[in-house]
């Protein structure tokens, strides 16, 4: 009996609890961050969370995103490790492409990895991007897609030194390198990105041409194919404001349950308040 209790206790002690979130959009949702951040920290601590992973889109301003991350860490006082990547909304103000690629910040996981002590798990991050391929049924050239984007899509505000296809290919190459290195060491991988890595989440509508074009700015199946080829165990992403339960494709499990918009015009919430919706959208992953 004593041996059984000892083994059970050992297993519990070596469980790592991951909380995941994306697309909080504090500014768009007109949230009082000074009030919410204390509530979020208290909830994470009450759930005994070890790592809080944020898959992008906190604010439409990178300075505000960094401030939120810094403030949350101070409140948590090192009791929870906070890691984030940038979504396209975070990129529209007060940050350059070079900064997004080179920023030295212990919480910023883009093109980096962190090993979870005492386990075989490695957390790998990449902001990601898109290559228009999810809109290929429209048979528009890259030039036409870019022209549409620069006229109608929020990403027109993001300045970059290369085309969208080149930017996605860079992201894919970076991810390939980090995943390959991890797998050579027999690491189990939890990969976090912002953009949609699987065609399974993309909807093509017969009567809504606007959103069929938007599909092109959502991500690329090439990312999912890469991850699945390495048999990456778990993938977290956001960007698409539709909540899904975890889905397993081949040997890879995908997690995507964004908070989204709670506006009169675009109400994607199922709850009455931001905090209720955040808790509902928060996904808890137990890693052994």
Token pair in block for residue 24:
């909080």
Token pair in block for residue 100:
């997004």
Residue 5 lies in a domain: no
pLDDT at residue 166 greater than cutoff 50 = yes
How many domains would you assign to the chain? 1
pLDDT tens readout for residues 105-158: 999 999 999 999 999 999 999 999 999 999 998 999 999 999 999 999 999 999
| Bridge partners, residue 31, by sequence | none
Q: How high is the pLDDT of residue 265? A: 84
Q: How high is the pLDDT of residue 2? A: 33
- CA dist 129 and 61 (Å) reads 18
| Confidence at 6, pLDDT banded by 50, 70, 90 | very low
* Mean pLDDT across 183-201: 97
Q: Which residue has the higher pLDDT, 206 or 71?
A: 71
Q: How high is the pLDDT of residue 208? A: 64
Residue 11 lies in a domain: no
Q: What is the phi/psi pair of residue 18, to 5°?
A: -105, 130
113 C-beta neighbours (distance < 10 Å), count: 18
Residue 258 lies in a domain: yes
pTM over 0.85, yes/no: yes
* Mean pLDDT across 88-114: 98
How far lies 244's CA from each of 107, 247, 248, in Å?
26, 8, 12
- Burial-class residue 269 by CB neighbours within 10 Å (0-12, 13-18, 19+): buried
81 C-beta neighbours (distance < 10 Å), count: 19
Which residues have C-beta within 8 Å of that of residue 42, sequence separation ≥ 6?
none
pLDDT at residue 4 greater than cutoff 70 = no
Largest CA distance in the chain: 70
| DSSP designation for 219 | B
275 C-beta neighbours (distance < 10 Å), count: 15
Residue 164 lies in a domain: yes
Token pair in block for residue 264:
């009169």
pLDDT at residue 85 greater than cutoff 80 = yes
Say what angle helices 142-152 and 164-184 make with each other, to 10 degrees: 100
Pairing of strands 121-125, 112-115: antiparallel
Instruction: Please state which of the ranges 11-15, 19-23, 33-37, 81-85 shows the lowest mean pLDDT.
Output: 11-15
Q: How high is the pLDDT of residue 209? A: 74
Q: What is the phi/psi pair of residue 188, to 5°?
A: -85, 135
Nearest to 238 by CA among 18, 75, 58: 58
- CA dist 259 and 93 (Å) reads 21
Token pair in block for residue 10:
């050992």
Q: Mean pLDDT across the chain, nearest whole number?
A: 94
Residue 55 lies in a domain: yes
pLDDT at residue 262 greater than cutoff 90 = yes
Residue 74 contacts residue 40 (beta carbons within 8 Å): no
Nearest to 17 by CA among 55, 69, 52: 52
pLDDT tens readout for residues 194-225: 999 999 999 988 776 788 999 999 999 999 99
Range of the domain at 51: 17-287
Residue 6 lies in a domain: no
Residue 4 lies in a domain: no
Task: Show the beta-strand stretches assigned E in the chain.
Answer: 16-21, 51-54, 81-84, 112-115, 121-125, 188-192, 234-236, 244-249, 252-256, 283-287
> What CATH number is associated with residue 145?
3.60.21.10
R_g over Cα of the chain: 19
| Confidence at 13, pLDDT banded by 50, 70, 90 | low
Residue 9 lies in a domain: no
């Amino acid at each position: 009996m004593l041996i059984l209790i000892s083994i059970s206790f050992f297993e519990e002690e070596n469980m790592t609890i991951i909380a995941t979130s994306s697309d909080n959009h504090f500014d768009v949702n007109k949230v009082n961050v000074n009030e919410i951040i204390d509530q979020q920290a208290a909830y994470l601590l009450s759930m005994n969370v070890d790592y809080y992973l944020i898959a992008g889109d906190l604010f439409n301003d990178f300075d505000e995103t960094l401030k939120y991350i810094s403030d949350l860490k101070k409140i948590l006082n090192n009791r929870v490790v906070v890691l984030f990547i940038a979504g396209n909304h975070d990129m529209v103000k007060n940050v350059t492409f070079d900064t997004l690629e080179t920023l030295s910040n212990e919480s910023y996981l883009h093109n980096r990895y962190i090993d979870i002590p005492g386990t075989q798990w490695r957390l790998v991050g990449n902001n990601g991007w898109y290559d228009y391929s999810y809109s290929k049924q429209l048979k528009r050239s890259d030039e036409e897609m870019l022209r549409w984007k620069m006229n109608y899509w929020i990403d027109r505000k993001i300045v970059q030194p290369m085309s969208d296809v080149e930017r996605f290919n860079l992201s894919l190459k970076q991810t390939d390198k980090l995943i390959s290195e991890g797998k050579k060491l027999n690491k189990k991988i939890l990969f976090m990105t912002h953009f949609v890595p699987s065609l399974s989440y993309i909807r093509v509508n017969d009567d809504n041409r606007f959103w069929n074009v938007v599909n092109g700015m959502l991500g690329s199946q090439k990312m999912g194919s890469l991850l699945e080829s390495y048999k990456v165990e778990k993938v977290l992403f956001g960007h698409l404001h539709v909540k899904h339960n975890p889905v397993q494709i081949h040997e890879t499990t995908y997690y995507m349950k964004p908070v989204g918009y709670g506006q009169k015009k675009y109400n994607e919430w199922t709850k009455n308040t931001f905090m209720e919706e955040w808790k509902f959208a928060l996904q808890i992953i137990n890693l052994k």
